[in-house]
Amino acid sequence: MEVDLKNINHKFVELFRQTFAFTEEEFALFLSYFTVKTVTKKDYYLRAGECCHAKAYLNKGCARNFVLDEQGHERILFFAFEDWWLGDFDSYYSGKPGTNYIQLLEDSELLVISKENFQKAEKEISKLTQWYSFKMLRSASASRNRIEEMKTLSAEERYLKLIEKQPHIFQRIPLQHIASYLNIEPQSLSRMRNRLTNKH
């Protein structure tokens, strides 16, 4: 399905029209390379073993990105909300099958651009490469911070930080998934929440 401009998240428009100064023509051209994809709650956008050959802008909805450990447990790496880009970037750039699962947790709408279309667009709109560099820098930085956080904070500290920094997550994501994100079992999160409320 073609993308209808009036349904696009304003952040998407702002990013390319203002931050990266796309002209109206460039923006229209860029948009023409996208298709809209709706995915219903609990369905997967990507599974381990599949090759990721597109970038997908999460226009509406939310998702969890997870991998399986050796015992087959799901381990959530991060949640995605409106204005995030979905995909397995290692797979996208290497062309090899990925290890990530991406499951939508609400009925969602994605704006999808295939690898080929993106490469075409990159040739026609040189600013796109700047965006890509910018995003890569941010992504690398976010990952490093995440490692630092995992190394220096306990499960309880990570939980409290999550409440402080991203309280909206608790409005939309079931506790069992938040537990997985914090790297503990749902029972342990429950016990921890109990311990924290009974502290006074």
Partner DNA sequence: TTCATTTCTTAACCCAGGTTAAGTGTTTAG
Partner DNA sequence: CTAAACACTTAACCTGGGTTAAGAAATGAA
Contact positions toward a second copy, by CB under 8 A?
A: 67-70, 75, 77, 89-90, 93, 99, 132-133, 136-137, 139-141, 143-148, 150-153, 157, 183
Looking at residues 50 to 109 of the shown chain, list those that interact with DNA (rule: CB under 7 A): 71
What does the DSSP 8-state code read for residue 2? B
Q: Considering the rule CB under 7 A, would residue 172 count as an interface residue with DNA?
A: no
Q: Kindly give, in sequence order, each residue whose CB lies less than 8 Å from that of residue 151, ignoring residues fewer than 6 positions away.
A: none
Q: Which residue has the tokens 């506790």?
A: 175
When asked if residue 193 is in the footprint of DNA (CB under 7 A), the reply is yes
183 binds DNA (CB under 7 A): yes
Closest distance of CB 190 from a second copy, Å: 20
Q: What is the DSSP string of 69-100?
A: -TT--EEEEEEE-TT-EES-HHHHHH-S----
CA distance 42 to 105: 5
Stretch that binds DNA, among 6-14, 30-38, 107-115, 170-178 (CB under 7 A): 170-178
